[in-house]
Structure 1
Amino acid sequence: MDAASDTDWNGWLSDYYKRYTADAFDPRHFPNLIAFRDLAIKLRDNKRKMMLAGNGASASFASHGAVDFTKQGKVRAVDFNEPNLITAFSNDYGYENWVWRAMERYADPGDAAVLISVSGTSPNLVKAAEWARQNEVTVVTFTGKSEGNPLKALGDINFHLPSGAYNVVEGVHNIWLTTVVDMVVGRAEYSVG
């Protein structure tokens, strides 16, 4: 019998889910959720686009967000998770530069970049935020861990969960991202067909 089998799983689960509820659903996040919704509507109305990027699981949430904003919210959105794009730009410009180099090709003034990083220190995303700030692209960040992370410092709208529990932070990021999609639609239940 291992130590894990002696764990009080009910207590463990209760403590684990408190990590979500303690901060993720706090009303102090409502102004940022509303600001992101307003930005998405502005992008749609002005025929601008949203570019989403992340690494690892955050890249998956970027893809999910891009599809939902486009399909459900009718906001043009693209994610930078296509393997040919990543490998070609990383090979030619270095991994730390590939996102901003891709944005350089895709972005127009008035667009928005949604950059997702639990650590908030991913060099490729920090450099993308720096490029965006210099080129009239609004920056929305989703970060965790340290409050003073460099990605958050570059954002116009910032979503931050002060936790190092990667799966919790990533899960909360996904909740916040899809909440804004539903805010753009205007309801929680609707036909997706």
Structure 2
Amino acid sequence: MDDGVHRPSTNAWLDDYFSRFMPAFEKAHYKNLRDFHALCLKVRDNGGKLMFAGNGASASIAAHGRVDFSKQGKVRGLDFNEPNLITCFANDFGYENWIAKAVEHFADPQDVVVLISVSGRSPSVVNAAKYAREKGLKVVSFTGSAPDNPLRQASDISFFFESRAYNIVEAVHMMWLTTVVDMLVGQPEYSVS
């Protein structure tokens, strides 16, 4: 089929594509991984919870994180992906405030807010980070795109992957989250039942 679109050879394209993930494995990220792990242990020991939120695919990553941290990592988790909650809070407080309002309604003092956004600029997550910090809650963020994004600036622990390729950044965010889960378990292979 010749539709006029240039497609690189499969191997060259894949080599380039997968090379874009390599910075995620650099030791520069180890400190954040260790710091988040330590924070999770503190949350678990204090009976707190991790509250996860994001928009779009980041909401799916948040939900996956909540399940794995709760089930495997033994750190209670909560996410705000319930349609009734989202539509109620967005309708009553504005979409830009719905996550902050969810944090307001569900947070306890020993909790941590985990916010995921490729751009780091979505008003709903940025406002949630600002609210959480004002209330003395720790904020952990997973962002990409530009290094000066406001969510990154408003975080206590900031996981940042410098790429504007959404699928790559989202995959890296998932990898970093599940790495910390496995750190809590203490090994990469284990029974999940």
Distance apart, 1:36 and its partner CA: 0.4
Worse-superposed segment, 106-115 or 4-13: 4-13
Q: Which position in structure 1 is the counterpart of 2:192? A: 192
Q: Which position in structure 2 is the counterpart of 1:169? A: 169
Count of residue pairs brought into register by the alignment: 192
Q: Structure 1: which 5+ residue stretches go unaligned?
A: none
CA distance in 2, matches of 1:69, 1:81: 16
Amino acid at match of 1:84: N
CA distance in 1, matches of 2:41, 2:84: 30
Say whether 1:149 aligns with 2:116. Answer: no
SS of aligned partner of 1:179:
helix
CA distance in 2, matches of 1:50, 1:108: 10
CA distance in 2, matches of 1:185, 1:128: 29
Q: Structure 2: which 5+ residue stretches go unaligned?
A: none
CA distance in 2, matches of 1:63, 1:144: 19
Distance apart, 1:187 and its partner CA: 0.6
Amino acid at match of 2:167: N
Distance apart, 1:150 and its partner CA: 0.3
Q: 1:19 to 1:59 in 2, by over 3 A?
A: same
CA distance in 2, matches of 1:4, 1:42: 53
CA distance in 2, matches of 1:122, 1:4: 33
Say whether 1:178 aligns with 2:165. Answer: no
Distance apart, 1:3 and its partner CA: 4.5
**TM-score normalized by the length of structure 1:** 0.97
Q: Note the alpha carbon deviations across 1:123-182, whole angstroms, 9 max, x for none.
A: 000000000001121000000000000000000001001110000000000000000000
Q: Which position in structure 1 is the counterpart of 2:40? A: 40
CA distance in 1, matches of 2:175, 2:54: 16
SS of aligned partner of 1:97:
helix
Distance apart, 1:6 and its partner CA: 4.6
Amino acid at match of 2:112: A
